[in-house]
Structure 1
Amino acid sequence: MAGSPDDTEQQFYEALQHADLDRLMELWSDEDEISCVHPGGPRVVGAAAIRAAFEAVFQQGAISVFPERVRRLVNGDTAIHQVLERVQVQGQDGPQSAWVIATNVYMKTAFGWRLVVHHASPGTAHDIQEVVQEPTTLH
């Protein structure tokens, strides 16, 4: 049982790094409307469809993906993480970094924090930089 959204997220990325489909699927909620969007792909809804999508991805092997610059918003039993993912890919000149911008949504369940949405979009090296507006209200 994951004690925090951060714990679940760490296990999610470890499962991707090891192409561990069973472990990956254990992290998803039992809700019917869970969904996943891979970079450039369609929205995939439901556990069976998500499993099939990751199974297809893992046929190419494990994913060397590392979460960076995580921004967190937690409200009650819901947590939203905006993540810049660094993906190591093998290029003609050796290992290179590719970038993905992802949003991971977690819900607290009787079994701990579970993933309900993973939405990943292609990014660029420019996305490493963030545009952040300072709060206008001082508390």
Structure 2
Amino acid sequence: MPRFAHIFEAAADTLNAYYQAVAEVNIDSLMGLWIDEEFVSCISADGSHLHGLSSIRTGLAAQLEAAPVSIEPLDIRVYDSLGTVVYAIVEAHRPVDPAAIPTMVFTTYVMVHERGEWRIAHIHASRMPDEAAAQFSAKLRHGQGALH
């Protein structure tokens, strides 16, 4: 069983590398994390639907150059099986300006194990409605956890 624990930990490394590449606006590093297949897709928090590596590269580059952010995971749920890991995460997307209010986002990452490495196959992000964001923040402030 230790072998599987190591394999799934590597999926978290890919997710952390994604967050780092977003914060650095490093499109080449960001795109190096995706599976090398044209079926990949990304639905961004702004509602953009990006399909295929070329579309994802162009869309994410435009989004990050226009509004760079760092992503802080606040609540992580992991569902794994042999060859696939799904992360369901509540994230704070923090603008570069420290005075700006972060955007709360629900994001799902689907990762697949390909040639010994974990790669992103799909991302679906949705902006959290203001009322839900306020409730989520209040629960975190009161130490109740995200889903209590």
For normalisation by structure 2, the TM-score amounts to: 0.78
Q: Aligned partners of 1:30, 1:21: CA distance in 2, in Å?
A: 15
| CA positional deviation for 1:111 | 4.7
What is aligned with 1:126? 135
Q: Which runs of 5 or more residues in structure 2 are unaligned?
A: 1-7, 140-145
What is aligned with 1:58? 64
What is aligned with 2:110? 105
- Given that residues 14 and 118 in structure 2 are in contact (C-alpha distance below 8 angstroms), is that contact kept between their aligned partners in structure 1? yes
Q: Aligned partners of 2:136, 2:109: CA distance in 1, in Å?
A: 17
What is aligned with 2:17? 11
Q: Aligned partners of 1:105, 1:43: CA distance in 2, in Å?
A: 16
Equivalent position amino acid for 2:117 in 1: G
Equivalent position amino acid for 2:134 in 1: A
Pair 1:96 & 2:96 matched: no
| CA positional deviation for 1:14 | 0.4
| CA positional deviation for 1:37 | 0.6
What is aligned with 1:83? 89
The alpha-carbon distance between structure 1 residues 68 and 23, as it changes in their structure 2 partners (threshold 3 A), is same
Deviates more, 1:21-30 or 1:123-132: 123-132
Aligned-residue CA RMSD (Å):
2.2
- Overall identity of the aligned pairs, in %: 25
Q: Which runs of 5 or more residues in structure 1 are unaligned?
A: 133-139
* Relative contact order, higher structure (CA 8 A, sep 6+): 1
How many correspondences in the alignment? 130
Q: Aligned partners of 1:19, 1:61: CA distance in 2, in Å?
A: 10
- Given that residues 99 and 125 in structure 1 are in contact (C-alpha distance below 8 angstroms), is that contact kept between their aligned partners in structure 2? no
Say which structure is richer in helix. 2
- Given that residues 71 and 92 in structure 2 are in contact (C-alpha distance below 8 angstroms), is that contact kept between their aligned partners in structure 1? yes
